[in-house]
Structure 1
Amino acid sequence: MNLVPMTYNVCIRVTGTNSEQCYSIDIPKSNAVTGKTVASLDKLQVEIQSGTAPYQVVVNGILQYETNINNFDVAVKQGDLLEVKTSKICEGTFSKIITLFDAVRAFPNPTSGEFDIYLPTNEDSVSIEIFGVDAKLISNANYSIENGKVHINIAKEPVGIYLVKIKSNPDEIVQIIKK
């Protein structure tokens, strides 16, 4: 039964008699499922703070697994929808749109040549310009964004400081140190 939380009056009558017994039944409001998350580059650490196990862990509508543990990790990508459902429908669903990063980041930095730029976007591609410290344009290309990141290689460039301009709205500039 899906009863709304409130007090219900229920009376039971025995057919053929004048007997009637009445009861008051209180259906309390359940606590909603709550949790907190900590993001890393490719996974989310989830701690369910209230809610009844077992928990169904769903990413983008696809059941990943079921667990009785209230602390767990789940593989995610930028922009995924995480849902954690409890064994009691009345507790609701813990939902979170995944933001693994909220600012443009480069890693590793310093680099020996290859590095990734992590972008908080759902776009498929991005235009990137790379400048030397002397403001000389070294590269201007479109890059595919895969799993929220762009892979760049400046191994053929000399050691130094480079400025990477990500053409977006607004444009972002990241300083890269090549060692």
Structure 2
Amino acid sequence: SYNGYGNNLFIDNVKVRSTEAVGETFDRDDKLRIFPNPNTGTFSIMLIGISGNASYEIFNLTGQVISNGYLENNSGTGNATISISDEHKGVYFVKVSYNGIIESRKLIVQ
């Protein structure tokens, strides 16, 4: 059988992999939450189930640290509200360190 262009090549083994999109709902097992994402330069970091201190760093695409600090630990949940509204719109990365673990997330500023 031929397609509309006279080609008889057909592919029947296509695999579609799931991807994560910015702004999707949270994974219930995910301890690190950054919201809203995308945002206009002000956002919150929430880290659930931590003991001790947690710190964060915000990086631009060149790897420069543009903001850093600590999450306030309230009964095992770390929180921080951060503003980088003086920075350009674009993609940033948030690195959070806690309990010997380092996690990173993409952040979009519109």
Question: Relative to total residues, which structure has the larger strand share, 1 or 2?
Answer: 1
1:164 to 2:94 alignment: yes
Quote the offset at 1:121 in angstroms.
2.2
The structure with higher relative contact order (CA 8 Å, sep 6+) is 2
What is the aligned length?
81
Q: How does 1:3-152 map to 2 (within 5 A)?
A: 101-103=28-30, 104-123=32-51, 125-146=53-74, 148=77, 149-152=79-82
Contact 2:90 2:109 in 1 (8 A): yes
Quote the offset at 1:124 in angstroms.
5.8
Q: 1:135 to 1:155 in 2, by over 3 A?
A: same
Q: CA RMSD in A?
A: 2.4
Normalized against structure 1, the TM-score is what?
Answer: 0.40
Runs of 4+ off more than 6 Å: none
Report the equivalent of 1:61.
Answer: none
Contact 1:102 1:120 in 2 (8 A): no
Report the equivalent of 2:84.
Answer: 154
The 3-state SS of whatever aligns with 2:93 is strand
Unaligned runs of 5+ in 1: 1-40, 42-100
The sequence identity of aligned pairs, in percent, is 32
Between structure 1 and structure 2, the one with the greater Rg is 1
Contact 1:110 1:176 in 2 (8 A): yes
Unaligned runs of 5+ in 2: 1-25
